[in-house]
Amino acid sequence: MAALLRRILTHPLLALLFRLYMGGVFVTAAMYKINFTAEFATTIASYQIVPHWSVNVLAVVLPWVELLSGLMLIVGLRVKAAALVIAGMMVVFTLAILITLYRDLPISCGCFHTVDDPISWVTVLRDLAWLGMALHAYWFDRLLQLDQVFFRQLKEVEA
Amino acid sequence: MTAPDAVFSPGVEAAGPQKKLYHLRTLYEVTRELTGMTSISSILESFLPLCMGPVGASSGFVLIRYDDQTRVDLSSRGLAQEEVEALQQMTRELADKIFSSGAGLRTERSAPVVFRGRHLAREPLLPAGTEILVAFVLEQGVQGILGLGPRIDQAPYEQEDLDLVLGLKRSLRAVLQRAMAHEKIQAMNTRLEHQNLRLSAALQEMEDARDDLDRRALQLQALYDASVELSGLVEPHPILETFLLLVLGSFSVREGFLVVYDQGLGETEVTSRGLDPKEAEKLSTAAVRDVLFGLFVALKDRIPHIMESRWTTDPELLADVPGDVSAVVLFTVDEECRGALGLGQRLQGGGFSKEEHRLMSMLLSQFMVSLDNARHFVMAKRLNADLERRNLELEQTLADLTSARDEIDLLQTTKERILSLVHREKERVSHASWIDFAMLAVVSVVLGLLFNMASPSRLSLLPASMSGPSPETISRQLALAMHQEQQALFVDARPTEFFEQAHIQGASNIPLPLFDFVYDMKLSQIDPSRMIIVYGRTYSSHYDIEVVQKLLMLGHEQVFLLEEGLQEWPETMVEEGR
């Protein structure tokens, strides 16, 4: 049973599903932030974690990081790097939320929209779940990757 | 034989003068008669009657016996045939008996021994009736015996008779010695003649041998000349030309040709001397080739074997051969190389002798050896050229191989590097690398900046609070005084959520994102000269500065920024809610 469970939990198909899901989540999140950069800057500033002079830069760049890493997950390009980047962002976001919860700041998550629900422990759990999915994809994903095409060519060269 | 009755010495007893004269005359006559005779048998034949007659003997014999030969010279008179034959057969026994009796008859100087008496009649070796026997030595190894039978008158012999006999014996001895000397001279002459004949024959043989040696020397000289002249040549054609000249000169031939067909080298060598040019040209044609090979076929079982030659002088066979040739010598160097030597008429006319055939055979052998060497030389040259070409090819191949090996080594190195690179790339691809992160970061920054620049709602990378002039500030004490006197309007620039958590009593909340809307509602009607004190900033955003800047832009004259912000404001003057 444990083996079956382990097999299911480590199955590449599950990793593929997590990968596509996480890619979709980040692409969706990034689309709004890219279109409403000023609002996203306000959201960043509301967390009161980064210095004020870096807020706008982060607001301009971070959505593109999310978009590119999300697209890389979806198409299967440099999956491990993209998954690690996303996992890293999830760690940062989770820490930011935890800090915010600790400070008891009355702000919303701002993950997908400026007017999201206020930050809560549910948000933390959700982010932790997403972090797990990203790490799962990092460890077990090997299906439908663009890298595999290149990988196959490398193997042929090696042979 | 018995001992003689008496032995007489000649001339001891004196005779009558008449008888002595008779005897002397007899001796003279006998001596004269026998002088000049050279044949022993004739002397004996003549002597015996001349001896018997004066003494009156009825029979007698005289014989000469030679120690070293079986020859016996015998003459007899008045003896029966049987007695003569017996005497002839028993001569050696009789002589041995007489001359070994110790009578001292050893040399020619020994005195004769005379046996006389009746006892002689009992001697079986002597003819019957022998009364006087005289033995004498002519010379060493030659003895003579004179025997006389009874006198005709049956009277005994007297001393005078015996003396006469002894005298006659001396004459006979002298004549015989001369005859024997003559015979010896004759024999020596004969031997000399024979020796002369042998010498002449030997001389002739020697001359023949010298002629033969001269011929052989000539042949050897020709062979030597051929060897010398041919040995320095290594090409077939010069060998043919030299040999043809040599043969024509050695055999005194007016014209000739030499053709060699070499299937091994695939070449035909032709040379000629003295031939009509048109005839010479024909030698290279296939027709002449067929004619010459036809001569080989015509020889049938006499076809020359390897390194052999054969003469052909049949005019019918030579009819189609170019030139006025009298003989063609066919030769075979080996299975692939044959040839023909055509010889024209000789300067002195006539044909070729057997010796010349032999010489030609030897010269051709020498020629074939030289030609074979030259062919091998040509083959060796060709092989050398081929070897050189192959060497060049091999060198080129080696160079190519070396180059290919270097190329392979290079490719191998490249392959190893590529494999290493591939391996590293595999490792890199299978793991996240800093390059990925860097690339992602760079692309994100570039795209973000580009998009932001192109966006209508472009966001300044630096916050507005850092770009404008620094607003005037007001100290907390002065602001408290103004608050207590209500001389100033306090504006909280933070978002509504923060304002609701805590704000200065009486302050109006104008969050930056809703500034225009809220300003219209709350501040658009106030006096532009009224003092407005703005506060509200966080670590991440200076809302207050931006609101100050907006209010100044809207024409408000006394807009101040509260120093130290809400944190240092007295809690008693802080309230929650809207």
pLDDT value for B9: 38
- pLDDT at residue B11 in the model: 41
Which residue in A has a C-alpha nearest to residue B498's C-alpha?
A106
Average confidence (pLDDT) over B488-513:
90
Digit-coded pLDDT (tens) for B419-448: 888 788 777 777 888 888 999 999 999 999
HSE-up of residue B360 (Cα within 13 Å, Cβ side): 26
Mutation target for A interface from B422, B460, B501, B541: give the one with most A CBs within 10 A. B541
Residue A114 pLDDT? 65
Cβ of B540 within 8 Å of Cβ of A51? The answer is yes
Q: Do A68 and B447 touch (CB under 8 A)?
A: yes
Dihedral (C-alpha) B19, B23, B25, B31: value to the nearest 10 degrees?
A: 180
Mean pLDDT for chain B overall: 85
The ipTM value here is 0.93
Cβ within 8 Å of A, B 481-540:
495, 497-498, 500-501, 512-513, 538-540
- Cβ of B541 under 8 Å from any chain A Cβ? yes
Q: Does A115 touch chain B (CB under 8 A)?
A: no
A47:B436 CB<8 A: no
Q: In which element (H, E) is residue B491 found?
A: strand B488-492
A108-140 confidence digits (pLDDT tens): 888 887 666 788 999 999 999 999 999 999 999
* Chain A contact set for B425 (CB, 8 A): 154
| Buried/exposed B540-559: b ≥16 CB within 10 Å, e otherwise | bbbbbbbbbbbbbeeebebb
The residue among B227, B478, B468, B266 whose CA lies nearest residue B362 is: B227
pLDDT for B218 equals: 79
Structure tokens at B100: 């070994």
Yes or no: say if B261 and B334 are a contact pair by the CB < 8 Å rule: no
Using CA atoms, how far residue B489 sits from B50, B461, B551, B570, B571, in Å, is 227, 32, 12, 17, 19
- Bridge partners, residue B509, by sequence: B492
* For testing contact with chain A, the best of B417, B420, B428, B444 (most A CBs within 10 A): B444
Cα dihedral sign for A8, A10, A11, A15?
positive
| Encoded tokens for B257 | 């040709």
Q: What is the mean pLDDT of chain A?
A: 90
Task: Give the integer Cα–Cα distance in Å for B510 and B489.
Answer: 12
What torsion, rounded to 10 degrees, do the Cα atoms A55, A57, A60, A62 define? -80
Give residue B104's pLDDT: 55
**Number of A–B residue contacts, CB under 8 Å:** 126
Band of residue B577 on the pLDDT scale cut at 50, 70, 90? confident
CA distances B105 to B95, B126, B145, B166, B176, Å, are: 11, 19, 12, 15, 17
Q: What is the DSSP letter of A75?
A: H
Res. A24 pLDDT band, cuts 50 70 90: very high
pLDDT for the residue numbered B3? 34
The whole-angstrom separation of Cα B374 and Cα B235 is 5
pLDDT recorded at residue B12: 40
Give the per-residue pLDDT at B86: 87
pLDDT in tens, B110-144: 677 788 877 777 788 888 888 888 888 888 888 88
A65: nearest CA in chain B?
A: B444
Q: Which of A30-39, A118-127, B194-203, B214-223 has the lowest mean pLDDT?
A: B214-223
**Which range, A63-72, B281-290, B499-508, B562-571, is most confident?**
A63-72
If you measure CA to CA, which chain A residue comes closest to B435? Answer: A81
| Cα A157 to Cα B556: distance, rounded to the nearest angstrom | 74
Specify burial of residue B456 (Cβ count, 10 A radius: 0-12, 13-18, 19+). exposed
Question: Is B441 an interface residue toward A (CB < 8 Å)?
Answer: yes
**Helix/strand/coil for B503:** strand
A 20-39 residues with CB below 8 A of B? 34, 36-39
CA–CA dist B245, B230 (Å, integer): 11
Q: Which tokens go with B301?
A: 């079982």
Q: How many CB atoms lie within 10 A of CB B383?
A: 12
B173 or A127, higher pLDDT: A127
pLDDT of A138: 92
> Is pLDDT larger for residue B148 or for residue B16?
B148
Alpha-carbon distance of B453 to B450, in angstroms, equals 5
The string of pLDDT tens digits covering residues B70-98 is 778 889 988 888 888 888 888 888 888 88
Using an 8 Å CB-CB cutoff, list chain A residues near B418: 157
Query: What secondary structure letter does DSSP report for B155?
Result: P
With cut-offs at 50, 70 and 90, classify the pLDDT of residue B107: low
Q: What is the 3-state secondary structure (H, E, C) of B87-147?
A: HHHCHHHHHHHHHCCCCCCCCCCCCCEEEECHHHHHCCCCCCCCCEEEEEEEECCEEEEEE
- Indicate the DSSP class of residue B564: T
Is B106 within 8 Å of chain A by CB? Answer: no
Q: What percent of chain B has pLDDT over 90?
A: 21
Dist. CA B558–CA B390, nearest whole Å: 108
**What pLDDT is attached to residue A116?**
67
Task: Name the one residue in this structure whose structure tokens are 């024409």.
Answer: B555
Q: Which stretch, A61-70, B173-182, B193-202, has highest mean pLDDT?
A: A61-70
Would an 8 Å CB–CB cutoff place A145 in contact with chain B?
no
Q: Does A58 touch chain B (CB under 8 A)?
A: no
pLDDT band at B54 (very low <50, low <70, confident <90, very high): confident
- What is the average per-residue pLDDT within B175-197? 87
Backbone angles phi, psi at A85, to 5 degrees: -60, -45
Q: Check residue B18 and give its pLDDT.
A: 80
Considering only the beta carbons, identify the residue of A39, A49, A60 that sits closest to B452: A60
| pLDDT of res. B314 | 86
With cut-offs at 50, 70 and 90, classify the pLDDT of residue A13: very high
Residue B22 CB-density burial (10 A; 0-12 exposed, 13-18 middle, 19+ buried): middle
Per-residue model confidence (pLDDT) at position B437: 92
| Contacts with A83 from chain B: Cβ below 8 Å | 432
pLDDT score for B14? 45
Q: How would you write B272-321 as a 3-class SS string?
A: EECCCHHHHHHCCCHHHHHHHHHHHHHHHHHCCCECEEEEECCCCCCCCC
Distance CA B185, CA B18 (A): 41
Q: Is the pTM of this model over 0.95?
A: no
pLDDT at B322 over 70: yes
Phi, then psi, of B502 in degrees rounded to 5: -170, 140
- Mean pLDDT is lowest, of B55-59, B115-119, B232-236, B335-339, for B115-119
Q: Which whole number is the average pLDDT over B519-539?
A: 90
- B192, β-bridge pairs: none
Strand boundaries in B505-550, DSSP class E = 508-509, 531-535
| Mean pLDDT in residue range B301-330 | 87
First to last CA, chain B: 216
